Structure 1
C-alpha cells in the first residue's frame, strides 16, 4: 500500500511539472495596450518574458512626460529554443493617433535592435510577439532591454 502511494505521488509530481503553465507567463499581464508593463524614463530596463501561447503578445509602454524629445531603444534576444519573433514599436500622438510603426523584421533566433524618438506627450509601445503559431515557448524566457536614458 505504501509503495502505491509513493508511485502515485511521483506520477502526480511529474505531471504537474510537465504540464503546469509557467509562473512568469501570467494571462492578463502585458497582453494588451491597457495591461502593458510601464517603463520609466531615464533608465535602462531589463525584462525577461515568456510567450506562453501561439497568440500571446507582450507590450511595454513608455510615455514621454518631459518637455523635450526622448529616444527609446530596445534590444531583443530571443529564447535559445529558436523560433521567429517580432520586435515592434508603435508610436502614438497625444490624441491617440498612430504616427509611427516600426517592425524589425522576422529573422529567426537573432538579436534585434530598434530605436525611435518621441516628442513630449507621445507614447511608444514596444511589442514582442511570435511570428508564427509555433513560435512560443512557455519554459524559456526572451530578454528585452529598453533604454530610455536619452
Structure 2
C-alpha cells in the first residue's frame, strides 16, 4: 500500500492489525505448545480490538488532518509482516513470538514518532500523537500480559 495521506496511514495501520489478527488466529490452531497457543489466541484478539480502534480514528479525525500529505515524510518502506501467513508463528517459541510482535509494534511506534515531528498542521500532529499514544499504550499492555504468561 502506498501511503500518501494521513488517511492512508490510518488505513495501512488498520490493515496491519487486521492481518496480524488473522495470522495469529490461523497459527494458534496449528501450534502444539500450550503457552504459545494461548499467546497467539490472545494476540489475535488484541490485534482485532486494536484494528477496530484504529479504524475509529478515521471517523473522528479532522478532515484537514486526514487529507494532509505524508508522502514526502516517508523515507523507508512501510512495515510488512509476513506477507502471506504461511504459519510462521505456529513454528516459533513463545519468546520468539513475543520478540517478533514487539518488533512490529516498535516499528509502528517509531514511524508515528517520526511523522509526529514532521506534520505540517496542528490537526495532523494531534492525530499522529493520538495514534502514537494508542500504539504505545497497547504495546505496554501487551508487555504486561506476556510477562504474566511467561511467569506462569
The TM-score normalised by the length of structure 1 is 0.27
Question: Highest CA radius of gyration, 1 or 2?
Answer: 1
The TM-score normalised by the length of structure 2 is 0.27
More helix per residue:
2
More strand per residue:
1
